[in-house]
Structure 1
Amino acid sequence: MRIISGSLGGRRIHPPGKMPYTRPTTDVAKEGLFNTLQHRIDFEGMKTLDLFGGTGSISYELSSRGAEDLTIVEKDHQMFDFIKKTATALKIENIRFIKMDVFKFLQGHHQQYDFIFAGPPYALTEIDELPRIIVKQNLLAPDGLFVLEHTPRNDYKEFEKYSFEKNYGTTIFSVFSNPAP
């Protein structure tokens, strides 16, 4: 696993060998997603939220590309410790770590973010609630983007604020946008 581009581009991440609840986004899918996003948004100075943080690779990529205010939510103890250790090794200081269930975190949460990423476990039965909660609670800043990683069995084209999707075989990224008025 590696950081694709930016100030930390090329750095390798070595997650634990056994991650029972974590399915890292592949480098190919992550690179494709960020290649698409870099033509739509400027990561410099962004406030970001990474839900189901896993290995932390999305937040490291965001930091490498200039995001200034990062929040990462992960409930698994092993992965939470790995993310903190890796962020320290990469000297990423502008990151908040929250060890909590994502749905509990989102409950009553009303801060806005320029970019939100959610890479939940594919077997998560409540996955369809994520875009609903984010839209209902107005968590996306004007011109903000929310990216939801999922499998082909989920379809979000009819959901509020849906914009487009990128398909990488078994990995699909549905992108939701909040255009400025």
Structure 2
Amino acid sequence: MRIISGEFKGRRITAPKKLPVRPTTDMAKEALFNILNNQFYFDSISVLDLFAGSGNISYEFASRGTVQITCVDVDFGCIKFINETAESFDMPIQTVKSDVFKFLENTKLQSTIIFADPPYEFPVEEFSKIRELVFENNLLEKEGLLIIEHSKHTNLSHISHYKYSKSYGGNMFSFFEMDN
């Protein structure tokens, strides 16, 4: 994987093969950040990266100037890799080793963007539970976005607060916002 824009543009990051990850493709990541670039100033937002895996999305935010980034993953190897990579690039990334659902139940951390990339084989009810915990626990800032990455074969349009989806190859991003 590579960082596609910002201070660290073009830098390659190679995660150990033993990590249980499926990094977002460069094409999908570039498309996602083109959408976000039109809505946010990256240096003035906070990001919560759920099911962070290799940290791929967080590195992109950090490269673009975001200074408040928290990664949550249950896998010790993933957390260790994110910490080592963030330290080597001097990126402002905090990590939390935790089950994502337990974290969402207990945290008070509000973020501008909450990005979740759970396993694609999750049942729809698990995707819905992410949305439920984020909105019921008031974890999204007023103008913020919850973005869930999933397979193009999974439909999340029936879940409340859904706004739209964008598909890139086999990846899909569904966007959720507070109702105005």
Give TM class, smaller chain.
over 0.9
- Aligned equivalents of 1:160, 1:110: Cα separation in 2: 21
Shift of 1:5: 0.6
Task: Name the structure 2 match of 1:160.
Answer: 160
Q: Which residue number corresponds to residue 64 of structure 1?
A: 63
Task: Give the corresponding residue for 2:116.
Answer: 118
What TM-score comes out, normalization by structure 1 length?
A: 0.92
Q: Say whether 1:31 aligns with 2:30.
A: yes
Q: Specify the SS of the correspondent of 2:49.
A: strand
Q: State the shift of 1:111 in Å.
A: 2.2
Conserved? CA contact 1:2–1:10, under 8 Å: yes
2:145–2:176 contact (8 Å) kept in structure 1:
yes
Residue type of the alignment partner of 1:144: G
Aligned match of 1:50: 49
Q: 2: distance between equivalents of 1:169 and 1:44?
A: 29
Gap runs ≥5 in structure 2:
none
Shift of 1:104: 1.0
Separation in structure 1 between the aligned mates of residue 118 and residue 151 of structure 2, nearest angstrom: 11
What is the DSSP-based 3-state SS (H/G/I as helix, E as strand, rest coil) of the residue aligned with 2:86? helix
Q: Distance in 2 between matches of 1:90 and 1:111?
A: 25
The secondary structure found in structure 2 opposite 1:178 is coil
Q: Quote the residue 1:177 is aligned against.
A: 177
Alignment RMSD: 1.4
Equivalent position SS for 1:146: strand
* 1:9 counterpart = 2:9: yes
Asked if 1 retains the 8 angstrom alpha-carbon contact of 2:83 and 2:93, the reply is no
TM score, norm. by length of structure 2: 0.93
Letter in 1 for 2:27: V
1: CA distance, partners of 2:122 / 2:159: 18
> Given that residues 58 and 71 in structure 2 are in contact (C-alpha distance below 8 angstroms), is that contact kept between their aligned partners in structure 1?
yes
2: CA distance, partners of 1:124 / 1:161 = 20
**How far is the alpha carbon of 1:17 from its aligned partner?**
1.9
What SS does the aligned partner of 2:44 have?
coil
Partner amino acid for 2:34?
N
Q: Which blocks of at least 5 consecutive residues in structure 1 are unaligned?
A: none
CA displacement at 1:169 relative to structure 2: 2.5
1:49-90 Cα offsets, whole Å, 9 max, x none, are 000110101111111111121110011121111111111111
Whether the 8 Å CA contact 1:114–1:143 is kept in 2: the answer is yes
**Which residue of the other structure, out of 103, 106, 122, is the alignment partner of 2:101?**
103
Report the number of matched residues: 178
Structure-2 separation of matches of 1:95 and 1:56: 9
C-alpha contact 1:135 1:160 (8 A) present in aligned 2: no
Q: 1:137 corresponds to which residue? A: 137
CA contact (8 A) 1:46 1:69 kept: yes
